[in-house]
A and B are shown apart, each in its own frame.
Chain A
Amino acid sequence: MSTEVVLHNTPLLEEHIALGAKMVGFGGWNMPLQYEGILTEWDYNRRTCSLFDCSHMGEFIIKGDAVESGLDGIVTQRLTDIPPKTCRYGAMLNAQGGVIDDLIVYRKAPQEWMIVVNAANSEKNAKHFKDHLTSKAVFQDISFETAKLDLQGPLSRDILKTLVPGIAKLEYYTFDEFTLLKEKCLISRTGYTGELGYEIYYPWEKSKELWQAILKNDKVKPTGLGVRDVLRIEMCYSLYGHELDETISPLEVGLDKFIDFDKDFIGKEVLLKQKAQGSRRAIGCFTSESRRSPRAGHKIFNEAGRIVGEVTSGTFSPALQSGIGLGFVEKPTNTIGQKLFFGDEKTKAAAAVVKRPFYKSGSLKH
């Protein structure tokens, strides 16, 4: 007996196929992996501008007071002092302190919130919210009516300005509602690449027109999930399923600054114990001494040849022209400057722990 996995399609499937994309299953969705090639797409993102279809991601609307609705007790970031039209990154945890998902909270109005979550976790997240929100909250899943187009790169503001003149006023991690090609939409100055960029939440059935209008500009190229992963690893951003999952403590990944210990939230008790005891392992960012790249699942060895951890994400970095990786290692192998090896018993390659991020000249806050 075979079980066939039916993948969801974004509203832009035909566009991807027309552009010659290689498609791949990701988080239950049929997504473009690459169009022209990862290195070409990398170049567009870092030097000019790139466009991603991220319609697979999940969006929820929650209405109600932060505390009375129960939302404040579900997510780790502080909600009560977020100014309206501002975003804040954080996570939601299970009772054991493991990460159910990382997420961004948008405060649309004093009592209206949008939560953006990973595609693969969308269903379990919706359930978690419904289980823990109080009767004072109104919950709505708008994932299948909301397309999401990410315009990212040093020229993204100049390009988006031609379609939305008011966009220039958006500061990093803020958002507003705009009219774009006659449709009302939410645009935030956020992203996952380390470059200046915007995430556009747009009506599902109109998104094809927006996609085509943006790509009319020859300084923008469509970019796939392949390069998206390279870009986020260059920035040392965590990806759920790699650096984050329900068995991993957010403290081990260095998410401390996105956790508000002055409030109550699910998982807090366990995290407090972990803080008191200290963790034996931590995430390390390391650069290969050659063009050989670490890969998820590779073992990490210390200088004495003992296994001290495992690679969670790895890639060749076009910026550094060498392999780069993230992985959990026993302390103190996570110390900056520490030499280590990645690979398997047969083949090991030398690397050194470096300060995050790998890529330091992004236009993120320009």
Chain B
Amino acid sequence: MEIMDHYLYTKEHEWINIEDNIGTIGITDYAQSALGDITYVEFPQQDQEVDQFEQFVSVESVKAASDIFSPMSGKVIEVNQKLEDNPALVNKDCYIKGWIAKIEIKDMDESNNLMSAEEYRNYLESLEH
């Protein structure tokens, strides 16, 4: 499973990439592989306020629907419009082109509740046993 070194991760297999006070959010390689071919992404509203670990997106694959939780609290400032016509981008490139939403981060200290790349790698290994 591919993991990006400088991203932070949740136990529910979301990632966040923090640049200044903006967090770009998506799902991990593990998550996209488990979901299979993604067919629909339901975005949050522009300017919607979300709490850390609150459900704010739902992702559908051919045979299932899954809730996606925000890794941190903040205000939704942008969603990846390309996924509307091409949700398969999440499968093809989950960490770069397949990002889902960007938030303006409310409380940077919440990043302490997330896993580093190394911690997430160990977490994935623990799931296999």
By a beta-carbon cutoff of 8 Å, the part of chain A in contact with chain B is 34, 37-39, 226, 229-230, 290-293, 295, 315-316, 318, 323
Question: Are B37 and A37 in contact, with the CB atoms below 8 A?
Answer: yes
Report which of B62, B64, B65, B87 forms a contact with A230, defined as CB distance below 8 A. Answer: B62
Instruction: Select one of B36, B39, B64, B65 contacting A34, CB under 8 A.
Output: B36
B37 touches A38 (CB 8 A): yes
CA distance A318 to B36 in the complex (A): 14
Name the 3 nearest CB pairs between A and B, nearest first. Answer: A316-B39, A291-B40, A39-B37
Is B60's CB within 8 Å of the partner chain A? yes
B residues within 8 A CB of A34?
36
Whether a CB of chain A sits under 8 angstroms from the CB of B54 is: no
Given contacts A292-B60, A295-B65, A315-B63, contact A37 B36 (CB under 8 A): yes
CB–CB B60/A316 < 8 A: yes
Q: Once the chains bind, are A293 and B40 in contact (CB under 8 Å)?
A: yes
Which chain B residues border A226 with CB–CB below 8 Å?
36, 62-63
Enumerate chain A residues within 8 angstroms of B36, measured Cβ to Cβ. Answer: 34, 37-38, 226
From B36, B39, B88, residue with most partner A Cβ within 10 Å? B39
What is the size category of the interface that chain B forms with chain A? Answer: 10 to 19
Partner of A291, one of B63, B64, B87: B87
Asked whether B63 lies within 8 Å of A290 as measured between CB atoms, the reply is no
- Residues in B neighbouring A323, C-beta threshold 8 A: 40
Task: Find the A residue at minimum CB distance from B85.
Answer: A291
Q: Is B42 an interface residue (CB 8 A)?
A: yes
CA distance A38 to B61 in the complex (A): 10
Q: In B10-63, which residues have CB < 8 Å from any A CB?
A: 36-37, 39-40, 42, 60-63
Q: Which residues of A contact B65 (CB under 8 A)?
A: 293, 295
Distance in Å from the Cβ of B1 to the closest Cβ of chain A?
Answer: 15
What are 6 A-B pairs with beta-carbon distances under 8 A?
Answer: A226-B36, A226-B62, A229-B63, A293-B40, A293-B60, A316-B40
Closest chain-A Cβ to B92's Cβ sits at a distance in Å of 11
Known A34-B36, A38-B37, A39-B37: A315·B62 in contact at CB below 8 Å:
yes
Chain B min CB distance to A98 (Å):
27
CA distance A39 to B87 in the complex (A): 13
Check B42 against A292 for contact (C-beta < 8 Å). yes
Cα separation A323 to B64 with both chains bound (whole Å):
11
Taken together as a complex, chains A and B put the C-alpha atoms of A318 and B37 apart, in Å, by 11
CB distance from A319 to the nearest CB of B (A): 12
B39 near A291: Cβ-Cβ < 8 Å: yes
Determine the residue in chain A with the shortest Cβ distance to B65.
Answer: A295
Asked if B62 and A38 sit within 8 Å, CB to CB, the answer is yes
> Which residues of chain B are near A318, meaning CB under 8 Å?
62
Chain B nearest CB, measured from A197 CB (Å): 21
Contact A39 B62 (CB under 8 A): yes
* A316 & B42 in contact (Cβ 8 Å cutoff): no
Interface centre among A229, A290, A292, A323 (most CB of B within 10 A): A292
With A and B bound together, what is the CA distance between A30 and B36 in angstroms?
19
A230–B61 alpha-carbon span in the complex (Å): 12
Give chain A residues whose Cβ lies under 8 Å from the Cβ of B37. 37-39
Q: How far is the CA of A291 from the CA of B37 in the complex (A)?
A: 13
**Residues in chain B near residue A295, CB distance under 8 A:** 64-65
